[in-house]
Structure 1
């Protein structure tokens, strides 16, 4: 059984009497019938269960996403008081975790305990820096996330639709609580920088059309189950129109007006995270969170500069293979302006992306021993997100397998969507990148729930960038323009190390960051601008990609060197992905263990 309420640490051990009789599934070394676990293992399992139950109750939307439908009619509570209460609860969980003797645990459980403690510590640190006052960034936030909710819902019968209606009707409270946070952020000087918010108010417009049936949130009412009686269908459709017209649309209008009249005019004019209260320490926390390594901003910056120099030399070589005789800057200008490199229609872009993905599908058995059951599709970024969205992104599927994952391609502003980058983008976002990685994590057995559904950016984005590089081995990038596109993406991630630390710790201006990206990559100027605004409003996240990729490639080189002819790339990739998303030091432990096992074969 799972406890129904948050259990104070002093009561955790009492849970064991109720939980010891069940087949535990919360740790890799759990036992089934005739439970042979040690007392510390059972205490850890009970604590993980208690915290997971708390997590699901505190975030009903997350519960729905991971397939727990007990709270489908609720929305999370987002007031500052709720954040304070959650921080107190988190401290109690951390206190309980700190009392467990990790040294007495088997390796798998000790890693789980260390990851659990680290996650709780990061959550508390984020609270101390009042990160909850920043619920939006340059391209997304709680408001756009809500509009994506239909993708995660289970809608099979009238009660399911009534749960969805309850969430729509709760949306005004949800919006007002976020506005309350952001108002407090204005008072405290903790806001998204104003320059990164240009157009944020206008971007809310597509979420509040005059016709409620045109809302993205109305889409579930257009596909009601055929088994519903006609009267029930009519009731649900009418209730959906009313909920959107009377609750959702006015709440979005209120948020748009708040952005336009209060938040954007009052947002800070500084750029860097270091300009926030205790900002240097806050940015150091973000560096640790997004790299999972004990690096300083200066170390990250220097790594970026070295990688930029290395990749630039490769780009120069590939440029010459095209027969171009001008300099590097002229080559970039040619790539950005020659219409042959750009799709004519959104359909062409989607077809090209789908074709690349299917080509890679055929290569997967030669690179992986274990492949996921969950499928994926290719689809355009929704219109209401597209103007300020990235070129492409993976949007995962629910773990119950009722919907596929989707590789989204941005068909807005096609003149900024070069085809020479498309192979690298597709391999990163679809396969063997995020779809493969996330679907395998969802299907992992014997991994605690909090690990199965966590997304550690250095691992996930590092894997995505490694997947781009893996395309060379798989036979992609056969023409020099696509290979230059691959290197552009590699350079982009290296330049992020320089730009992010430059913006947030070294006093760089927005234009300085845009110019650095534009002079070193073949990204469109539009992308250089939107990406810079993303880094300004989401400090630290951009560090994940290159740092993670460097670690994965370093571990592969180590395995190849030690194992020699025993090295099997399929088995190596399975070992990397075996336990879902993990911090890079844990990944290194996994691969060291893999090397020992393979050496003994």
Structure 2
């Protein structure tokens, strides 16, 4: 409301000024246009007022986004994002924003504001497509899976180790209020699943069984063993004991009487009603409307208009290229067998297995220190947000990736976290540690996300928004900086880097294979084992992730290749004047850009260098 009021006042002031001018000159006299600098200032003000108003409205509709920013205004709310009313509100907001954007003259904006204009337009149009009558009915009736469901996200949020703080009595009361809403949300997912059954749009049986397994594990924890109960075990010292007892009792009650019964209802529904109706085929090609949805998901995740065949063929080409580099490293190690035999050697030899969970952790600590010592050589701006290294929580480690990242608070009060997975420790490989840290930690996700969040000069949708191709493309590009950072000097670690790059190339083949060409789960796992030294546990988790999240895994390689292409273009054009620090600043310091907009920005930068 405040932004709307300011815009209204500005408009009245401008109309009054025009009226005064007409009174001085003759009524028929043409009005002179404001000087270009004044016009640009006024248009820029209107643009940023739109950004601010849109962001404020979005935070009210999506309170968890505010919580992750450290904005506590809506901390007692979980939000909706599952009802028809929510989706109607999102659609109306997007249409309103586009209409307001259309009234702003892009040509009068500065280059920086034009960049923001283009990103806002692209993001809003893409969001509206996801809310269309073509796409939304194919997604909304499959509300959770074993990778992205709220039943996986929420316990972590409520654990005391995530964005939700547990420092004051109000923080605990806010958590209890969110718990009540969470129980409602779990029941709402059952309603959406029933809609899907009626429409013939359902999840694969594999995904349903994995969700049931996750629910069983959370139910088996019991109230006091639950991750959501953890903040009650270590209160801040300044919370009075009487308040502690009350908060403990109220939290236990909502877990026992609302959340766990909702879990049980969902578990029973999935096992008794939904599982028999779920589909056997794991890919979207087997789902009603699935190919249409997959086409949209390719563009959503890569930001480019690629077909499934484009993606598949690019993946095959990259797999072949990386194989050639792997052969070179194999020769350097002195191994005499074939590449598949070398894969098996790396997969099974005891010297590549972590001695313990502690040893795995300590090596990540050591890697982090080595990166910190060199990273300032190729980056002019470093994040202020600290980075912590933690194991994946036990309740979700079985189905989690080998590594992941959770963003910190924009003001640095909550660190970014690099999570490494210790599940099935004998399947973990020490030769993959350096490249995993570069991707998830520094200079990968931690740098990209933190530098954007910390840049208060950016509008909030650029500080906190993004797209998968940029976010994951940057992290995979960060893996290619091993040489500049003095990493992967050991040939086995270098092979680990190639193995991770191979993973991202195989994703193009396997994801499109599953969802457009009818590949099975076992066929996909075999392809990954045949073409890399991944362990079977990791390969299985990866394939089941692609099944649950169609298209997401395509973003990594597509984004990385675009950033590498732009770096090569800049190096060729600028020659000795190319500055890697400056290039990284151009890529990173305006938030996550769609690939075509990033390309336009880098081309303008090259041209500005003469």
Of residues 53, 68, 72, the one that matches 2:71 is 68
Following superposition, the deviation at residue 37 of structure 1 comes to: 5.0
In the superposition, the TM-score normalised over structure 2's length comes to 0.90
Bigger shift: 248-257 or 419-428?
248-257
Of residues 582, 592, 601, the one that matches 2:603 is 592
Q: Per the alignment, do residues 393 and 16 of structure 1 end up closer, same or farther by CA in structure 2, a change over 3 Å counting?
A: farther
Of residues 42, 47, 50, the one that matches 2:50 is 47
Q: Per the alignment, do residues 85 and 584 of structure 1 end up closer, same or farther by CA in structure 2, a change over 3 Å counting?
A: same
Following superposition, the deviation at residue 72 of structure 1 comes to: 0.8
- Counterpart in 1 of 2:8? 14
Deviations 1:324-373 (A, max 9, x none): 21112222122211121111321111111221122111111111010011
Determine helix, strand or coil for the equivalent of 1:64.
helix
Of residues 223, 226, 229, the one that matches 1:215 is 226
The answer on 1:101 being equivalent to 2:105 is yes
Matches within 5 A, 1:328-477: 328-477=339-488
* Cα distance in 2, alignment partners of residues 2 and 524 from structure 1: 56
Determine helix, strand or coil for the equivalent of 1:84.
helix
Matches within 5 A, 1:506-517: 506-517=517-528
Matches within 5 A, 1:158-197: 158-197=169-208
The answer on 1:236 being equivalent to 2:247 is yes
Following superposition, the deviation at residue 211 of structure 1 comes to: 4.0
User: Which has the larger Rg?
Assistant: 2
Following superposition, the deviation at residue 139 of structure 1 comes to: 2.7
- Counterpart in 2 of 1:143? 151
Of residues 123, 126, 147, the one that matches 2:130 is 126
* Length, aligned pairs only: 580
- Counterpart in 2 of 1:154? 165
Determine helix, strand or coil for the equivalent of 2:533.
coil
Matches within 5 A, 1:524-535: 524-535=535-546
Q: Per the alignment, do residues 210 and 511 of structure 1 end up closer, same or farther by CA in structure 2, a change over 3 Å counting?
A: closer
Deviations 1:397-447 (A, max 9, x none): 122322211110111101221111111111100011111111111101321
Of residues 554, 563, 584, the one that matches 2:565 is 554
Q: Per the alignment, do residues 165 and 17 of structure 1 end up closer, same or farther by CA in structure 2, a change over 3 Å counting?
A: farther
Q: Does the 8 Å contact 2:147/2:549 carry over to 1?
A: no
Q: Per the alignment, do residues 80 and 176 of structure 1 end up closer, same or farther by CA in structure 2, a change over 3 Å counting?
A: farther
* Cα distance in 2, alignment partners of residues 39 and 549 from structure 1: 38
The answer on 1:80 being equivalent to 2:74 is no
Q: Unaligned 5+ residue runs, structure 1?
A: 21-33
Matches within 5 A, 1:495-506: 495-506=506-517
Q: Does the 8 Å contact 1:16/1:43 carry over to 2?
A: no
* Cα distance in 2, alignment partners of residues 267 and 103 from structure 1: 52
Q: Unaligned 5+ residue runs, structure 2?
A: 15-36
Q: Per the alignment, do residues 58 and 342 of structure 1 end up closer, same or farther by CA in structure 2, a change over 3 Å counting?
A: same
Runs of 4+ in 1 over 6 A off after TM superposition: none
Following superposition, the deviation at residue 82 of structure 1 comes to: 2.7
- Counterpart in 1 of 2:325? 314
Q: Does the 8 Å contact 1:459/1:584 carry over to 2?
A: yes
Q: Per the alignment, do residues 265 and 339 of structure 1 end up closer, same or farther by CA in structure 2, a change over 3 Å counting?
A: farther
* Cα distance in 2, alignment partners of residues 153 and 500 from structure 1: 34
